[in-house]
Structure 1
Amino acid sequence: MEIFQGLSAFPITPADEDGVVDAEGVMGLSARLAAAGVDTIGLLGSTGTYAYLTRTERRRAIQAAMKSVGGTTPLIVGVGALRTDEAQNLARDAQFEGASALLLAPVSYTPLTEDEVFAHYAAVASATSLPLCIYNNPSTTHFTFSPALLGRLAGVANIKAVKMPLPGAMPIASELDVLRAGPAGRLAIGYSGDWGAAEALLAGADAWYSVVAGFLPEISMQMVRAARDADRQEVSRINGLLEPLWGLFRQFGSLRVAYAAVNALGLSQAAPPKPILPLSSADRQRTVEALAHAGLG
């Protein structure tokens, strides 16, 4: 299977209040995902709080994950940074530590133009030999990739995929048709936004970049397998089990809910990096109830 296909599970990166990564915690979470058979692990994505970690701590997280799953489950490592040279160095670190692929968001303070984003991606893609996935995440970066820009980037060596947000009014199948009809169709096209995963998988998206799979990998794999079998009824059934979690994701953002779920499942007691605050006790209880609805607890 190609690296940017199937289920990519995005775990949290447990760390202490000073931002020092809990290597044992990373190893445990990674091993659990590998044992569940996820296709790839998305390390240091938004759920992995890459933007809150230093270069040293990001490298510590990669080393820990590789020690746990190296040679069994490929790692797609996030390398987003404000400066192009910093992102290049993070990409080189990821390759040196054994990552299989890179994920790059256009992190910025000053809003970026399309030409600036193109130059940034071309420079980072040239820093290593690893395949790179474009991270189109306007909710955090406040930059949206146009089909034309995706088409330009599809011609850059090493850029092989795009991680798309859920579209607005347009059905995912229609967006896929538009993208695949143009130059962007050379990219593997996957989706994040877990509450749209059922639609994306059944529409034929190449990958599901999943937050929920970072702590519920088994049921996530069940949905992926059902979609591969075109079993719409089973996909709908599993999606219904996860619907309470989707509601929490939409209300609070998936990051806060992921930490609450990981805590409730006894996988880690890490808290999100400040200034992000944990959910209230009432909403943590709602998370427990959502996990129970999915058959877990």
Structure 2
Amino acid sequence: MFTGLSAFPLTPMNEQGIHENEFSRLVMGLAEARVDSIGVLGSTGNYAYLNAEERARVAKLCVEHAGPVPVVVGIGALRTRDVLVNAENAQQAGASGVLLAPVSYQKLTDDEVYTLYETVCSSLSVPLCVYDNPGTTHFEFSDELHGRIAQLPQVRSIKIPPVQDDIAVAKERVARLRVVIPNDVTIGISGDPAAATGLLAGCNAWYSVIGGLYPETALALTRAAQAGDVQQANALSVALEPLWALYREHGGSLRVAATIAELTGKVSQPCLPQPLKTLQGDARKRVGAVIEALSLS
């Protein structure tokens, strides 16, 4: 399950609630494209802004509309008790796996993070992916800590931050992590601009934002990298550089992806929880020009 393309759709919403029909259509589109898995309630799914009941509903809707495609549900929360509730709700919904980031307000220690994963794994009956995302959690995993956590019985993947855009450096990064984790634990790359390099460097999966909107585009890049076609994988990524530039300009992928979804009618406006906003004015026009130029529609 934790290999290939894992596509992460938005959770479109306004202050009145989740746009369930829009979310369901996004999931059905991913299932029709035959992505390798669907990841919901990650950062792109705005999990931190939803309560336990809303998150349980999203998990249920995704499983209902994903068909045979495995569903991975984000369960991160500030308190371990809430993580456990989210984990149980995800399992009750029929999730094939869960995704857990060490969410915190106070900076966590290594022992606290290890205990979090140990506690959660003891209650799980499905596999878990460790979500290493220092950009939002402000927690830096060491390889030693990854190695300890990867020995826990339910851990089957690690979602690492973007690798450097240098294949030799990226290969060394993946190899260094691979040494300390079991062979049956996969390594997945996040950060869409780093996907081609990460996959070619030995990552087993791409946890993808753009895959949640344009699965065929993301699948083409993934399959090229899986086949070892360095030239094609890099060419497909380079072709998307105008999109990657928007990510860099606007501090990440969320606002760009949500703006694309609104502009293309995949979701209604507004689609983000307040106080978050999609891009407006000239920035919105630039996003529209990029997707038109790339024939992303």
Which residue among 149, 155, 168 is the counterpart of 2:151? 155
Contact kept in structure 1, 2:164 and 2:194, CA below 8 Å: no
Q: Given the two structures, how large is their TM-score scaled by the length of structure 2?
A: 0.95
Partner of 1:33: 30
Task: Find the aligned partners of 1:240 and 1:257 in 2 and give their Cα distance.
Answer: 18
Task: Find the aligned partners of 2:151 and 2:255 in 1 and give their Cα distance.
Answer: 37
Partner of 1:206: 204
Partner of 1:280: 280
Q: Larger deviation: 88-97 or 235-244?
A: 235-244
Partner of 2:43: 46
Matches within 5 A, 1:1-297: 3-18=1-16, 20-70=17-67, 72-167=68-163, 171-183=169-181, 186-252=184-250, 253-269=252-268, 270-297=270-297
- Structure 2 residue identity aligned to 1:296: L
Contact kept in structure 2, 1:150 and 1:184, CA below 8 Å: no
Q: Larger deviation: 140-149 or 224-233?
A: 224-233
1:184 is displaced (CA, Å) by 5.8
1:198 is displaced (CA, Å) by 0.9
Identical amino acids, percent of aligned pairs: 43
Structure 2: segments with no counterpart, 5+ residues: none
Contact kept in structure 1, 2:165 and 2:197, CA below 8 Å: no
Task: Find the aligned partners of 2:239 and 2:107 in 1 and give their Cα distance.
Answer: 39
SS in 1 for 2:38: strand
1:296 is displaced (CA, Å) by 1.9
Task: Find the aligned partners of 1:221 and 1:294 in 2 and give their Cα distance.
Answer: 16
Q: RMSD value over aligned CA atoms?
A: 1.4
Task: Find the aligned partners of 2:120 and 2:22 in 1 and give their Cα distance.
Answer: 29
1:116-149 C-alpha deviation (Å, 9 max, x unpaired):
0000011111222110000000000000110000
1:29 is displaced (CA, Å) by 0.3
**Structure 1 residues 138, 108: closer, same or farther in 2, change over 3 A?**
same
Task: Find the aligned partners of 1:5 and 1:186 in 2 and give their Cα distance.
Answer: 11
Task: Find the aligned partners of 1:261 and 1:125 in 2 and give their Cα distance.
Answer: 36
**Structure 1 residues 12, 217: closer, same or farther in 2, change over 3 A?**
same
SS in 1 for 2:265: coil
Contact kept in structure 2, 1:106 and 1:143, CA below 8 Å: yes
SS in 1 for 2:187: strand
- Structure 2 residue identity aligned to 1:280: Q
SS in 2 for 1:161: strand
Contact kept in structure 2, 1:244 and 1:293, CA below 8 Å: no
1:233 is displaced (CA, Å) by 2.0
SS in 2 for 1:41: strand
Task: Find the aligned partners of 2:142 and 2:205 in 1 and give their Cα distance.
Answer: 20
1:169 is displaced (CA, Å) by 8.4
SS in 2 for 1:145: coil
- Structure 1 residue identity aligned to 2:7: A
Q: Which runs of 4+ in 1 moved over 4 A?
A: none
Task: Find the aligned partners of 1:183 and 1:230 in 2 and give their Cα distance.
Answer: 23
Task: Find the aligned partners of 1:271 and 1:41 in 2 and give their Cα distance.
Answer: 20
SS in 2 for 1:213: helix
Aligned residues: 293
1:64 is displaced (CA, Å) by 1.3
Task: Find the aligned partners of 2:79 and 2:98 in 1 and give their Cα distance.
Answer: 16
Task: Find the aligned partners of 1:295 and 1:236 in 2 and give their Cα distance.
Answer: 19
